[in-house]
Chains A and B, each alone.
Chain A
Amino acid sequence: MTIIEVKQLTKVFGHDAGRAIPLLEQGMSKEKIAQELKLTVGVNKAEFSIEEGEIFVIMGLSGSGKSTLVRLLNRLIEPTGGQVLFKGKDVVKMNPEELRQFRRKNIGMVFQKFALFPHRTVLENAEYGLEVQGVDKKKRTERAMEALHLVGLKGWENHRPDQLSGGMQQRVGLARGLANDPDILLMDEAFSALDPLIRKDMQQELLELQSRVKKTIVFITHDLDEALRIGDRIALMKDGVIVQIGTPEEILIQPANKYVERFVEDVDLSKVLTAAHVMRQPETVRPERGPRVALQLMRDSGIFSLYVVDKANKLLGVITAEDAAQALKDNKSILEVTRREIPRVYPETLLNDFFELISETHLPVAVVDEADKLKGIVIKGAVLSALAGNAVPEGEGS
């Protein structure tokens, strides 16, 4: 379900900025408007929609208008034109009280430099959003504590922000954003001020957190790796214009124009693409079907091995055509000939991390989740073609 729909959203900075709107609609360029009207176009007719529960990354270099764009969503910056529809209601038209309620209940924010209140303890910081809503002390402490536990800050409630490391401070920022349980969380370069190792941890934790709390997250970043790692979809911005919106894969494999292409050309795909990107549907068989059926299945689909799974799709092992034939001859069951020691990876494992595994095995690599359920298989050819996909983008042929 669409939670936020942005239509023709525009921000022009300067005196009487509304003048620029008709000109932008006629297609006048940002440079020309700067020259003739002395106005700065921050965001130019942005148009996108965000689905409930996704991580939507807005990415661009500094000055591309991404921080302005995210502030237009909760009107920390007043839009000059266009609409922001939250579940169909136009945020731009809200009166101050409606806007306040919208900010309190529906949309939280995490800031680049944390923006923690230095005179308040960690707990009081996390409580802030609830406090301004007038939630009573006991209840807000309870919910703020929950949020602090969620981000792993149990035991730090009574410290001051300046006693914490950068990574921990941003966890407080995150807890503050989550405590009033908003539908949407805006994260403005939330991890950019952290050093690289902490940053990677935080990205991982954000993904884990997201899988638990299922928030819609709008994440701003200038870092392509970060965007590719955490984004379900990415909007790429340049000079206030959104130049492409797509999944990380689409951005990488089918760059919309030269700009995006240049942007992504240095990306090491093996560190971006995961097993989930290259896996395909496995052919499976349940043990009780017997070796004869297994052989028939292999013959029908022209392959030499089948994955053996139980009723719950839990991976038991693999059976090859030879094994099946042997079992048939010896009158054994499938389970008796199943090879159980087979290579497996998780869907989120990066290609880079299982090159070795895949080169050492003759069988495809099985992709399983934490419960060992079979999600797919990866064959060598798929990995190679995915990596090659970057070198020769579709339709570009060189």
Chain B
Amino acid sequence: MDIPKLPLGKALEWLENWLTTYCGPLFDFIATIIGGMVSAIEGALTFLPALVLIVLIAALSYWIGKWRMALFAVIGLLLIDNLGLWGPSMQSLALVLTASILAVVIGVPIGILCAQRNAVRNTVTPILDFMQTMPAFVYLLPAVSFFSLGVVPGVIASIIFAIPPTIRLTNLGIRQVSEELVEAADAFGSTPTQKLVKLQLPIALPTIMAGVNQTIMLSLSMVVISSMIGAQGVGAYVYRAVSQAKTGDGFEAGIAIVIIAILLDRLTQNALKPKQR
């Protein structure tokens, strides 16, 4: 006998409609916050002339890393400017930074809860697996229907795609703090909060930062996909080049993304390492 096909898709569409109808104000509120954040960051990045910002970023790179990193920042960013991609690159950067900041703000507390309660971890882990393996395109669609086209659904999709490493590595970092140290903190009468702030978070910090680094890289990888639902930026250039089969344009925009990616990666990786010159 035939088993009828389960109406899984139908159920989800019904849920989507229900949410759009009844939770509209909530989504509007979220959209306002995220949209505001993106424009604020973008405004800050484009407020200064490109050359001034390049100098500032180079100085930051020198302070965090070595002179080689500063050199790379100068050359790379000048190249982006030269290709005429400065504006869209900053738009994309604003999207990436917004998504990353929100992912960290949401992800670290969830990671802490996971580390403190096995029940939370056991619930969250399969959800994270689901979020990471479900093709990103699939949750672009509900994001669009909740938040309409533009940069906001792009940020939402990026957060969903990029948040798992922050949660996972925060959980891992805290759980890796050795039993004896936790025991010592307890033995001297620490409250759970003191234990977290004075012991677990500082020791877990390098691991958490590795997660944050991954989160930033993943949200950067969403730049092109976000452009499919109307997010502006250098991703949109890539998307347009692909749809019009313009190899050269695509390559130029791609290079800009790569430069930003390398800079963000090195900056976040070295931010916590002891200075070595």
Contacts and interface: CB of A to CB of B under 8 A. Distances in A.
Interface in A166-200: 176, 180, 186
B272 to A, nearest CB: 11
Interface residues of B, number: 17
Given A100-B191, A132-B191, A76 B186 contact: yes
Contacts of A102: 189
Contacts of B189: 99-105, 129, 132-133
B194 A103 contact: no
Contacts of A117: 181, 184, 198-199, 203
Interface residues of A, number: 28
Contacts of A129: 188-189
A119 B202 contact: yes
B6 interface: no
Contacts of A128: 185, 188, 198
Interface in B177-197: 178, 180-181, 183-191, 194
Given A100-B189, A132-B194, A109 B202 contact: no
A109 B184 contact: yes
A176 B189 CA distance: 13
Contacts of A100: 189-191
Interface in A108-144: 108-109, 111-113, 115-119, 128-129, 131-133
A113 B188 contact: no
A74 interface: yes
A132 B189 CA distance: 7
Contact of B190 (A108, A115, A132): A132
Nearest to A106: B189
Contacts of B188: 103-104, 108-109, 128-129, 132, 176, 180
Interface in B127-185: 178, 180-181, 183-185
Contacts, number: 58
A100 B139 CA distance: 48
A118 B191 contact: no
A74 B187 contact: yes
Nearest to B182: A115
Contact of A131 (B180, B183, B184, B198): B198
Contacts of B185: 128
Contact of B184 (A104, A107, A115): A115
B188, B190, B191, B203 — most chain A CB neighbours (10 Å): B188
B155 to A, nearest CB: 34
A111 B183 contact: yes
Contacts of A131: 198
Contacts of A119: 202-203
Contact of B187 (A101, A105, A109, A118): A109
Contacts of A103: 186-189
Contacts of B180: 111-113, 115
14 contacts: A74-B187, A76-B186, A99-B189, A108-B187, A111-B183, A111-B184, A115-B178, A117-B181, A117-B184, A119-B202, A119-B203, A128-B188, A131-B198, A132-B189
